[in-house]
Amino acid sequence: MSRDFVVAAYIVKGGKVLLVHHKKLGRWLPIGGHIDKDELPEEALRREAMEEAGIEIDISGESDKDGNDGNVTMLLRPDHVQLEMIDPETGHQHIDLVYFAKARDTNVRLNDNEHHDIRWFSAEDIMREDIKPNVRHFSLKALEEMG
């Protein structure tokens, strides 16, 4: 068994949430990816948003700043954390730190090395499309919470 830490962001702007259609997995997913060595989750989110969609984001989340001192820095808490089975044969799993974010702009670009499509979805679109239940649930939650 092996586990990697990854981040994902349900990015909202103008009453829509941004999803990408992943080439390898063949389904709609939020922007995200592996946290690189020596990278903080928030840094990974911003990097992935730029690499996968060409956009800058403002990450939502709370941090207990009163806990900061010379040796400890409080990070933004994700909206949720999930364990995802990636490859049942090898036992490879991802520990997903999932955040909500706002896009600074709605102009996105497709990273065609990784995705078939990139699209802004309204709540109605989310309900009509073939989207996995957990992605549908958190897309709708992000829209509700982020406006």
Model pLDDT, residue 24:
84
Closest listed residue to residue 133, CA positions, set 24, 27, 25, 26: 27
SS3 label, residue 135: helix
pLDDT digits (tens, 9 = 90+) for 17-46: 999 999 888 899 999 999 999 999 999 999
The rounded distance, in Å, linking the Cα atoms of 11 and 81 is: 17
Model pLDDT, residue 25:
82
Residue 23: domain span: 2-146
CATH number of the domain to which 135 belongs: 3.90.79.10
Under 8 Å between Cβ of 53 and 108? yes
The count of domains in the chain is 1
Model pLDDT, residue 113:
85
Model pLDDT, residue 38:
95
